[in-house]
């Protein structure tokens, strides 16, 4: 991300990074039980047992309301408890990092029209037809993919999200076609970072306007959602060594039960392959290579082509 970044404390925030909505809690106890005990002791000291019974009942109602979201219109009308999964997960934007490098398993020789029409879809700006074209040709994001998850509570009681982790199947990197559009520096929009080269490591996280990553997000925080409450996760998934197809498992506590919900790319796994690393002609493994126009013109000043992507010789290009 371009521009300044504010320097933040090394100590984790009192609230986790991310959108508002829902209840954020640190993993340690808040001590509310002790406070509740003092209130009950005060009530017990009142002279009249009738007054004690009335106030105790009234305090119980207040305590329940304080621990639960405001009743929805559906709850107020006496409808049955919500059915289905305890969390309703909506897949938001799925985009390539920054300008958007991507790869395909087969060599693609595309016309200028195809380059203009189909490739716009990589960051969500293309039509539904171009999105389908990318899917039909097994497009994979290169280097990193940013996934937005909007999670909504679907129970009358609180549902607590305790983990997000990948379920991956990985193999050798793709070598058909690469569209290379390198980023202009590390951004700080992602909240969670998942490394498919080390999938067993808990997700790292960043805080607003800082590039520093902290370990084990869900070891520090949990997110509790009442009925209709929402929380948005920005998840950055990366690999530097292998081609991976993966889904994301969300684990939650629902009334004492542990429940896992799986998120994928509209019924298909997310796909990601590494950007080649090292010196020399690093893209020589690809049969076809296209460069973002700005990058191509900076490397080859004599280019006059105005297409958004310029095909170059993958055996001779180095970055």
Cα–Cα nearest to 288, from 168, 174, 144:
174
Give the C-alpha separation, 248 to 91, whole Å: 11
Residue 123 has pLDDT above 60, yes or no: no
**Domain extents for the chain?**
30-67, 87-312
When pLDDT is averaged across residues 269-283 and rounded to a whole number, the result is 82
Residue 170 binned pLDDT confidence (cut-offs 50, 70, 90): very high
Q: What is the pLDDT of residue 69?
A: 39
Condensed to tens digits (0 to 9), the pLDDT of residues 35-89 reads 444 444 443 443 333 333 332 332 222 222 223 334 444 444 445 678 899 999 9
Q: What is the pLDDT of residue 262?
A: 97
Strand-pairing partners, residue 148, are 234
CB atoms closer than 10 angstroms to residue 294: 13
Q: What is the pLDDT of residue 79?
A: 56
What lies within 8 Å, CB to CB, of 101 at 6+ separation is: 141, 142, 143, 178, 179, 180, 181, 182, 275
Dihedral sign (CA 165, 171, 173, 178): negative
Three-state SS at 148? strand
- What pTM did the predictor assign? 0.73
Q: What is the pLDDT of residue 18?
A: 59
Specify whether the CB–CB gap between 153 and 231 falls below 8 A: no
Highest mean pLDDT among 14-18, 36-40, 53-57, 185-189: 14-18
Distance between alpha carbon 284 and the CA centroid of its chain, in Å? 32
Report the half-sphere exposure of 175 (CA within 13 A, side-chain side). Answer: 8
Say if residue 141 is exposed, middle or buried (CB neighbours under 10 Å; 0-12, 13-18, 19+). buried
Q: What is the pLDDT of residue 107?
A: 96
């Amino acid at each position: 991300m371009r521009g300044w970044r504010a320097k933040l404390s090394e100590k984790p925030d009192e609230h986790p990074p991310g959108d508002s909505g829902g209840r954020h809690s640190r993993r340690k106890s808040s001590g509310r039980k002790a406070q509740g005990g003092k209130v009950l002791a005060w009530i017990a000291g009142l002279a009249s047992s009738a007054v004690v019974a009335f106030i105790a009942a009234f305090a119980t109602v207040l305590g329940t309301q304080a621990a639960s979201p405001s009743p929805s219109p559906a709850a107020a009308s006496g409808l049955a408890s919500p059915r289905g999964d305890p969390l309703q997960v909506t897949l938001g934007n799925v985009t390539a990092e920054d300008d958007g490098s991507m790869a395909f398993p087969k060599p693609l020789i595309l016309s200028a029209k195809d380059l203009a029409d189909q490739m716009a879809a990589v960051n969500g700006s293309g039509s539904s037809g171009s999105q389908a074209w990318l899917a039909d040709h097994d497009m994979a994001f290169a280097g990193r993919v940013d996934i937005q998850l909007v999670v909504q509570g679907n129970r009358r009681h609180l549902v607590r999200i305790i983990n997000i982790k990948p379920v991956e199947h990985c193999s050798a990197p793709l070598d058909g076609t690469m569209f290379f559009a390198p980023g202009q520096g590390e951004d700080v929009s992602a909240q969670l970072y998942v490394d498919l080269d080390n999938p067993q490591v808990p997700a790292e996280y960043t805080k607003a306007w800082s590039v520093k990553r902290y370990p084990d997000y869900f070891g520090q925080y949990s997110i509790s959602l009442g009925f209709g409450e929402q929380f948005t996760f920005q998840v950055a998934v990366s690999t530097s060594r292998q081609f991976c197809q993966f889904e994301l498992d969300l684990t939650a506590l629902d009334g004492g039960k542990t429940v896992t919900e799986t998120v994928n790319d509209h019924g298909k796994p997310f796909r990601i392959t590494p950007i080649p690393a090292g010196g020399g002609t690093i893209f020589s493994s690809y049969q076809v290579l296209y460069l973002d126009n700005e990058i191509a013109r900076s490397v080859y000043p004599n280019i006059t082509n105005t297409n958004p992507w310029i095909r170059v010789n993958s055996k001779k290009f180095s970055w």
